[in-house]
Amino acid sequence: MKRQKIIIVGSGLAAYVLASKLWQHNDVTILTKNTTQHSNSIRAQGGIAAAIAAKDQWQLHVEDTLKAGVFHNHQKAVETLVKEGKQVVTNLLQQGFLADRDHHGELLLGREGAHSERRIIHAGGDQTGKYLIYFYQQLLQGKIAIIEGQLAVECVMEGGECKGIMTMGHDNQLHTYTADHIVLATGGFGALYDTTSNDPSATGDGIAIAYRAGAKVSDLEFVQFHPTMLATQAPYNDLISEAVRGEGAILVDQNDREIMKGAHPLENLAPRDIVARVMMTELTKGHQLYLDIHQIKNFQTKFPFIKSVCEKNNIDWQQGLIPVKPGAHFTMGGVETDLRGRTNIPRLYAIGEVACTHVHGANRLASNSLLEGMVFATRLADYLTTQSSVSFSNIPVNQRLHHTFHHPDLDRLRKQMTNHVGINRSESGLKQMTEWLEKFTLIQENHLTSYVLSRGQIQMQHHLLVAQLVTKAARKRLESRGAHYRVDYPFKSEQWRNKSITFQLTKQGVTV
């Protein structure tokens, strides 16, 4: 069988897992916006959730995932994730991945918020993502092509199919890459908020690109805000893993009052949206919030990265209090796919955080994200090995037109998103955001390359389009569910149960 050409846009865990399954029989190229050191995966601290312990059961993991997702998840997607996840993680360990173990050689399994059992496999204490990325980078060294510094611009479409991707380098030169299959693995859009755990590159490019090409996007209103970011003045915030609370840390205010006491039966291990909202209420009252880590023995051994981050920011963790605040962490919505990563556009696929398989529902369960990337990348790899290559026409080069574009700066956009489309939302705030976005030039169709735009201008076009879609979705869902909280509609509505807000170019609607 002829070797297929496969382009993967993005360099996080899902991209590497897919490449590791395909390189032997296909020509695989990874394109990444900055460098391979820039992704959310590499920052992931907590670990990989999998029901592999003797007393654990996959049904319990399913139940925990559905509860955290407020039952907005698709049951089949969750069962696929959890059942196949056990095998995927077992295979990873058999390949030689060095997960943390005790002196008997048994896996050290952690517990995180909303999990009923200890089932989190971790590495390097709180550096699981980094260990995973380096593991796959070593595995793939010299076996695939990796091209850095390429900002994805738009899909190359022909006859309703995706035949390639156009990118722009730092020199503002356009490049065209054709392939049998184009896979978006570009991550979420958490970096569009001004307090975030995300890498600055995670701004929703893949969602914008897929939408302009005619792909469906769903559930964009569901943005998870992690309760515990290190509270500093830095533009991008370091995460304090939920595993810290799993080991006994508690949230307190400046007077040592336990703020989660009585707020939820699970208190400090309540689902993330609940903890984040309680914290937001306290912060708006002018209170300062801390993680009290006095109860954790050997903190510096269990959490070496968090220890180093505190020291880098001149925070004395040995005093037992780490200042924290909530921030954007994970986006449950994205490019709509089936359980093999296929979008509604032939030969265009999406995996990882950019995709919406509806596995996370309204709120992702802790440590299911790395598992998602691995499981659905594996499923897509299995599918692509059954496909055949295609022939390509000559891709025409557009005559590029000059046009004056009015854009905001990124810092301003991030502040607006945080203020109006953040943890607490309302019609008045969302309307303000809509009106603010209308001031700027926005190209929605798949012809960004028809204009003479710089790399920065193209990037801002992606930002503005994603911001607009998220705002529209948040305005449309007139209820509170999981990570989407409307102060003017503070309760779940039966009318919205099992309904997703889906957008497609020239179409929008609610799907059941």
Strand order in the sheet with 334-336: 355-356, 334-336, 217-218, 500-504, 507-511
Residues in the chain: 512
CB atoms within 10 A of CB 318: 12
**Amino acid sitting at position 480:** S
DSSP class per residue in 383-434: HHTT------PPPPPPPPBP-------HHHHHHHHHHHSSSSB-HHHHHHHH
Q: Check: CB of residue 241 under 8 Å from CB of residue 47.
A: no
63 burial (CB, 10 Å; 0-12 / 13-18 / 19+) is: middle
Report the Cα 471 to chain-centroid distance in Å. Answer: 18
The torsion angles phi and psi of 3, rounded to 5 degrees, stand at -65, 135
Task: Calculate ∠ Cα 485-486-492, nearest 5°.
Answer: 70
Q: Where are the alpha helices (H) located in 231-303, listed in sequence order? A: 243-246, 272-284, 299-302
- What span, in angstroms and rounded, lies between the C-alpha atoms of 174 and 397? 10
**String of DSSP letters for 178-227:** E-SEEEE-----GGGSSSBSS-TT-S-HHHHHHHHTT--EE-TT-EEEEE
CB 124 within 8 A of CB 305: yes
Residue 29 Cα distances to 11, 42, 105, 180, 252, angstroms: 10, 20, 37, 12, 48
Q: What is the DSSP string of 430-458?
A: HHHHHHHHTTS----SS-GGGB---HHHH
What ranges in 229-387 are assigned the alpha helix state H? 243-246, 272-284, 299-302, 304-312, 369-384
How many other C-beta atoms lie within 10 A of the C-beta of residue 512? Answer: 6
Is-catalytic flag, 272?
A: yes
Say how many C-beta atoms besides its own lie within 10 A of residue 436's C-beta.
17
Q: How far apart are CA 487 and CA 121, in angstroms?
A: 37
Give the pair of three-digit tokens for residue 376.
């659905």
Phi-psi region of 333 (alpha: psi -120 to 50; beta: other; left: phi over 0): beta
Surface-to-core class of residue 484, CB atoms within 10 Å of its CB (0-12 exposed, 13-18 middle, 19+ buried)? buried
Q: Which of 43, 119, 245, 272 is catalytic?
A: 272
Name the residues annotated as catalytic: 272
